[in-house]
């Protein structure tokens, strides 16, 4: 069995009297893709921040393998419009090796963007550039917070494919957050369904039919009639109607 | 110096050099102020400088030293308060900025009128700079530029994305604190040039003007330094020929340069 890269046990966190995380366990091994799913406000990003060491948990323990190199792709990237920054200059913050930059961009499929200004990129292009920066760290662990945000559905499937290909090439572990189990299913080994606590976890197929998962996401979450679109800028319930056209760009405000 | 005095009066030459010394360092530092939206932060530090003047007089220590120490101290306090987030940052800055300015004004008024020229502190006294001031300004300016050069990459990294920088191993709090302290230092030397009320203008306006002409952070910082120097020269000329106050004339020149850049289409 591959060695573990990180382990969190009994993690609890409260903010302003509200429980964000309650007794959460999480483990990730080398070469494994673990996906956190859960409704908005379930604590997914908080858990990732705890695991990265950005937030100290109220109680519980987080262990990372000593010297673990992490490539992190944050959920949002807001660069002030007053800061002129090309993709090359942005990447150079992680590594100044131009060949490494090109290679990373090639891996994420956006090599031609090297000299473009960051502000001119579309949502999908930005995500791929962010992923390239994470790769420049030669990561043993990739941490991706909602990597397909602002990417259209066709692009989302592509993106997940890129990630699972990267895992095969780099033999790194991947921890990512997703809203949608069914899109991410093919590209993940383990799904952790989070709603302040871990509701259920395991192989994606087994989670998809787990009572706790179905209770959390409702009937519409069953395979075959899955919702493919999310408006990420408000909390959603998944009891809504099935969207027949299911595609299209979703631009964030 | 003596040779130059045949064509340019010494006081004007000193003023020009002092202004350029400040403008050079205000370029990159002002760029960070613009990128990180620290304009109000600069204002707060600048306003507190007057309090430093009052304490300097009160404790009979050199005003320059008192102002510098006061600014550095306030910068540290701001860093600490910001981390606690018990109140929105702009509210906190508003409270500190105006309280310290008011306190400074009250303290200064307690002194005999002959001992202190309030206008000089509020709007600068560029034409009264002497050789010692010039040397001080250039020393501080060079040191701050050196520090900015050494910290450039981590500074840029935390400006682009603080958490990403932290995950990549940048000591974020340390770098941010360093930036605040550097800004405090520059404000202390810039007070002589444009006065406490106008210092932020010298940081923000050339940087904002430079943004429209440049495509990389480094170009923008260098461009801001250059535009700042032009503004200083133009302001001094206007002041010399039309007898306008020097500090405000410099700021107005910078404003005019900014307006000119609006004519140009935004570089990407």
What domain range includes position B20? 9-262
* B3 is a domain residue: no
pLDDT in tens, B186-196: 998 888 788 88
Picking from A13, A85, A92, the residue whose alpha carbon sits closest to that of residue B221 is A85
pLDDT tens digits, one per residue of A222-233: 554 444 444 444
Q: Do A93 and B160 touch (CB under 8 A)?
A: yes
pLDDT, tens digit, 9 for 90 and up, residues B130-140: 899 999 999 99
Residue pairs spanning A and B at CB distance below 8 A:
65
* Domain range summary for chain A, segments of one domain joined by +: 4-69+140-219, 80-138
If one compares A39 and A118, the residue with the highest pLDDT of the two is: A118
Region of A84 please: left (phi>0), alpha (psi -120 to 50) or beta.
beta
Residue of A nearest to B32 (CA): A83
Q: Do B153 and A85 touch (CB under 8 A)?
A: no
Share of chain B above pLDDT 70, in %: 95
Q: Distance between CA atoms of A84 and B156, rounded to whole angstroms?
A: 11
In Å, how far is B175's CA from the nearest CA of chain A?
15
The pLDDT of residue B115 is 66
Q: Do the chains contact at A82 and B217, CB–CB below 8 Å?
A: no
Nearest to A40 by CA among A179, A218, A213, A226: A179
Using a CB-CB distance cutoff of 8 angstroms, which residues of chain A are in contact with residue B34?
Answer: 80, 82
Q: Are B122 and B196 in contact (CB under 8 A)?
A: yes
Other CB atoms within 10 Å distance of the CB of residue A40? 14
DSSP 3-state of A86: strand
B83 touches chain A (CB under 8 A): no
| pLDDT greater than 70 at residue B105 | yes
Dihedral of CA atoms A169, A174, A180, A181 in degrees, nearest 10, equals 80
Determine, for residues B161 and A74 on separate chains, whether the beta-carbon distance falls below 8 Å: yes
Contact: B159, A83; criterion CB under 8 Å: yes
Average pLDDT over chain A, rounded to whole?
82
| C-alpha torsion A19→A20→A25→A28, nearest 10 | 180
**pLDDT band for position A238 (cuts 50, 70, 90):** very low
Residue range B118-134, pLDDT digits in tens: 888 888 888 888 899 99
CATH classification at residue B216: 1.10.3470.10
| Amino acid B109: pLDDT | 82
- pLDDT tens profile B4-32: 445 778 888 999 999 999 999 999 999 99
Determine the pLDDT at residue A3: 83
Work out the pLDDT band at A253, boundaries 50, 70, 90.
Answer: very low
Does residue B268 form part of some domain?
no
pLDDT score recorded for residue A221: 53
A33-37 and A173-178 beta bridge pairing: parallel
Can you tell me the mean pLDDT for A144-152?
84
In chain A, which residues have their Cβ closer than 8 Å to the Cβ of B156? 93
Mean pLDDT score of chain B, rounded to an integer?
88
Per-residue pLDDT at B199: 87
Residues A109-124 have a mean pLDDT of 90
Flag whether B91 is in a domain: yes
Q: Which residue in B31, B161, B223 has the most chain A C-beta atoms within 10 A of its own C-beta, making it the best mutation to test that interface?
A: B161
Q: Rounded to an integer, what distance in angstroms lies between the CA atom of residue B100 and that of residue B113?
A: 20
pLDDT of B71-98, one tens digit each? 899 899 888 887 777 778 788 888 888 8
Residue B48 domain-assigned?
A: yes
Predicted local confidence at residue A248, as pLDDT: 38
CB of B204 within 8 Å of a chain A CB? The answer is: no
Q: Taking Cα atoms as reference points, which of A25, A155, A8, A5 lies closest to residue A70?
A: A5
Contacts of B31 (CB under 8 A, 6+ apart): B207, B210, B217, B220, B221, B224
Closest to B238 in 3D by CA, of B132, B122, B130, B126: B126
Tell me what pLDDT residue A231 has. 43
Alpha carbons B89 and B85: distance in angstroms, whole number: 7
Q: Is the pLDDT of residue A204 over 90?
A: no
Say yes or no: B34 contacts chain A, CB-CB below 8 A. Answer: yes
Give the mutation candidate from B163, B171, B205, B264 for the A interface (greatest A CB count, under 10 A): B163
Structural domain total, chain B: 1
Distance CA A71, CA A48 (A): 13
Which of B151, B152, B160, B214 has the most A C-beta neighbours within 10 Å, making it the best mutation to test the interface with A?
B160
Cβ–Cβ below 8 Å for A72 and B167 = yes
- CATH 3.40.50.300 fits domain A4-69+140-219: yes
Q: Do B166 and A94 touch (CB under 8 A)?
A: no
């Amino acid at each position: 069995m591959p060695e573990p890269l990180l382990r969190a046990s009994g993690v609890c966190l409260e903010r302003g009297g509200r429980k964000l995380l309650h007794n959460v366990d999480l483990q990730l091994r080398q070469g494994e893709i673990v996906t956190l799913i859960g409704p908005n406000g379930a604590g997914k990003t908080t858990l990732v921040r705890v695991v990265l060491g950005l937030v100290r948990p109220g109680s519980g323990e987080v262990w990372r393998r000593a010297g673990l190199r992490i490539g992190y792709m944050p959920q949002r990237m807001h660069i002030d419009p007053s800061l002129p920054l090309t993709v090359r200059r942005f990447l150079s913050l992680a590594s100044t090796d131009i060949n490494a930059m090109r290679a990373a961009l090639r891996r994420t499929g956006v090599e031609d963007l090297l000299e473009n200004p960051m502000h001119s990129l579309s949502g999908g292009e930005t995500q791929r550039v962010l992923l390239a920066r994470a790769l420049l760290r030669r990561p043993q662990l990739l941490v991706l917070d909602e990597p397909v945000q602002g990417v259209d559905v066709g692009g989302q499937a592509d993106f997940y494919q890129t990630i699972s290909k990267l895992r095969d090439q780099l033999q790194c572990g991947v921890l990512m957050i997703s809203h949608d189990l069914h899109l991410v299913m093919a590209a993940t080994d383990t799904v952790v369904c989070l709603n302040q606590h871990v509701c259920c976890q395991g192989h994606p197929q087994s989670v998809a039919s787990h009572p706790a998962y179905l209770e959390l996401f409702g009937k519409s979450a069953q395979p075959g009639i899955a919702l493919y679109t999310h408006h990420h800028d408000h909390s959603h319930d998944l009891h809504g109607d099935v969207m027949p056209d299911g595609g299209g760009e979703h631009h964030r405000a | 110096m003596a040779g130059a005095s045949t064509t340019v009066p010494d006081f004007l030459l000193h003023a020009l050099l002092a202004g350029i010394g400040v403008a050079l360092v205000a370029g990159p530092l002002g760029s960070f102020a613009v990128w990180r939206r620290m304009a109000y932060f600069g204002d707060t530090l600048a306003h507190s400088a007057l309090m430093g003047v009052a304490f300097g007089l009160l404790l009979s220590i050199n005003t320059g030293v008192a102002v510098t120490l006061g600014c550095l101290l306030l910068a540290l306090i701001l860093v600490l308060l910001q981390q606690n987030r018990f109140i929105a940052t702009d509210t906190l800055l508003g409270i500190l900025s105006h309280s310290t300015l008011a306190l400074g004004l009250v303290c200064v008024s307690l002194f005999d009128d002959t001992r202190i020229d309030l206008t000089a502190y509020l709007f600068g006294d560029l034409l009264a700079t002497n050789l010692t001031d010039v040397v001080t300004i250039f020393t501080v300016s060079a040191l701050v530029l050196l520090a900015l050069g050494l910290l450039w990459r981590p500074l840029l990294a935390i400006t682009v994305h603080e958490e990403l920088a932290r995950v990549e191993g940048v000591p974020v709090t340390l770098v941010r604190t360093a930036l605040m302290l550097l800004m405090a230092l520059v404000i202390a030397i810039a007070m002589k040039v444009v006065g406490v009320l106008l210092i932020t203008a010298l940081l923000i306006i050339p940087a904002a003007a430079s943004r429209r002409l440049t495509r990389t952070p480094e170009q923008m910082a260098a461009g801001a330094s250059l535009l700042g120097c032009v503004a200083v020269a133009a302001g001094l000329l206007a002041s010399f020929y039309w007898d306008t106050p020097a500090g405000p004339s410099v700021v107005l020149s910078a404003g005019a340069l900014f307006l000119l850049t609006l004519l140009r289409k935004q570089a990407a």
